[in-house]
Amino acid sequence: MSSTLKDQRLRDEQGTRPVRIANCSGGQMRKQATLDPVDFITGDWLAQNNLAQEQAAIAPGTGEGFK
């Protein structure tokens, strides 16, 4: 076993390896989770929610439009 791999395994066992954090927006969480091994995933749905609300207001002509 190479010393690099041995060192990595030792760090993993000791809990000293870097934490892998991924970020995604909307419905991309499944894709992010399957691309590479990650420890945590953060997500942002606020933009998608705002866009949906704006579109719902624009459709009947009651909204100001996108800001």
**What pLDDT was estimated at residue 12?**
66
User: What's the rounded Cα separation, in Å, for the pair 60 and 64?
Assistant: 11
* Single pTM value for the model: 0.45
Instruction: Tell me the pLDDT tens digit for each residue of 34-53.
Output: 888 888 988 877 777 777 77
- Domain segments of the chain as ranges: 19-67
pLDDT in tens, the chain (67 residues): 566 777 777 666 667 778 889 888 767 788 888 888 888 988 877 777 777 777 788 777 766 655 5
Q: Please list the residues that pair with 21 across neighbouring strands.
A: 40
